[in-house]
Structure 1
Amino acid sequence: MFESEILENGFMEGDKEHSNSSFAEVDPGKPASLTWQRRLDNEGNALSSFSLSLKEMIHMAPIGVRLWRYIREETAKGKGIIINPFVRRPVTSCHGVPLGGIGAGSIGRSYIGEFQRWQLFPRICEEKPVLANQFSVFVSRSKGEKYSTVLIPRSPELLKENEVSGIESWDWNLNGHNSTYHALFPRAWTVYEGEPDPDLKIVCRQISPFIPHNYKESSFPVSVFTFSLHNTGKTTADVTLLFTWANSVGGLSGFSGQHTNSKMTMRDGVRGVLLHHKTANGLPPVTFAVATREIDGIQVSECPCFVISAWIL
């Protein structure tokens, strides 16, 4: 039995990170004390399935027929169906904290780092990840050592499905043995302990802003990622973080055409790229904004477009 009180922010009473002030500074490089955790090389649990017996099928037949008729009528009118029990969906146990998720859509993220389960429009859910959406890291040290990798473990099955794009040529060197995912909605942390550089600890913190008394903007599928680096080696390290994002709303939408990207510059050193997506099938257009802030010691560069097969990491 716990004697300490569990606080709303996930820390235990008495933790140094906690303060009575709502404006207390939080160390983004340290996960909360109470989180759901999973190592990145964990393959997940196989979810059990079930089937109906003959007696159950007979009992459920009337409602099944009514649902089938309703779905057929709505489809004939060109309307989407919110719940369709006749469509088989992929079921996995790899889901993590999504980007957004309390109103105006969300983009899911697996615990290994894939951006998947796209729910940006009513009644539409694209389950599969867009592999071009990745964080990658490059490390070079003063004595000549160099390390680079995409920051998710290699998935031979997914790479095989996307081999036409050329994405298998990227550096998929992370094995995930020493990396751990921590989740506490609406936050998540991924701690890369000595991967890819054995003397470098990288912590990625993800948070979807929730603004008190502002449901509209809190409901957006928005997330902020911060990276903290801890160099335990005896030499200095130059670290480059790369974030790639496809102009896509999931599925094959990235190939529908007429999408445009453009650079943007805002005040306080904020720079980034706007990705204007001309959505097909009568759905409204979408604009993604990917941006970061340039401060002392951190240089920012942006590239509005690139060819996946030519982007050799």
Structure 2
Amino acid sequence: MALNLQRVLTLKQLRLVSVLGRELNLSRCADILHSTQPAASRALAQLEDQLQVILFQRTTKRMVPTVAGLSLIQHAHRVLAEIDLAEEDLLGLSGGVSAEMRVGVLSAFSPEVLARAMARSREILPEVLLITQMQSLEVLYEQLLDGRLDLMLAHAELRVDLNLVEVTPLYEEHSTILAGAGHRLHKKKKITWTDLAQEAWVLPPPQTPLRPKIDRMLSVHRNGDRSRQGPDVQTDSSLLALSLIGQTPMLWAIAHQQAKQFQVTAQVQALRAPAELLSGPMCCFRLREERLKTQQSIFMGCLRDSAQSLAA
């Protein structure tokens, strides 16, 4: 039996079912709906006739919902609650109410994707203040769980509780190894891991996903006397790392989208590594238990559009 409820049901009928399911009394239901008991009774009978099911068993004292009635009551509550939320959002947007959206961003996330998404969302949501902050992955995740962030933009290397967090993939990312434009390895047609391991490196902090990959590569392939190359250094500053590889023959591994930006604006170039040290999706994380607000939904849509244009 096809009911086609979208064409049959009205909001007035859903309100009737919702209130009657809560009050279980036709007289009180009619008072709440500013109607009369006979009119409410006729409306219920008409609805049951349309649906061809009995929603409530009538007794002299109260109404008892049937299994079908219980099902429709739950759906009516849900639909009416969503309409109330839509009204709240629309009133806020039309009234020009200022709001904030806090987005935590891992430094490896593509600045181009983020900038395009922010530029587009500013056009759609002129009254929403976008606040971005960059922290380590562990700090960002902790702030997301505590409700201090609305969204988190990071890679999928982080182990999360999927019962708490919803993860939306945005684009595929991989690592790139950068060196100064004059580095001797640019002249080699085929670069090996041993070649790369013998050089001095600008290392990311230990808690980053790239660091264990680099450490493993160096421990396996680094050998011999390296006194000429000098020691490795560690920093969490991209600007410092960029200056170091521009002034010394050191190597630096970062996300490919960031590397593209640096190659345009600085005297550095990507090396032809034997393979990628790290690859995987960059994602948007949000709390499952939190209602998806209008501004969050719009910004996530802008992120997806921006990521797709990047891949095109």
The TM-score by the shorter chain falls in which range? under 0.3
Structure-2-length-normalised TM-score:
0.25
Which structure has more relative contact order (CA 8 Å, sep 6+)? It is 2
Larger Rg computed on CA atoms: 2
Structure-1-length-normalised TM-score:
0.25
Q: Where is the strand percentage greater, Structure 1 or Structure 2?
A: 1
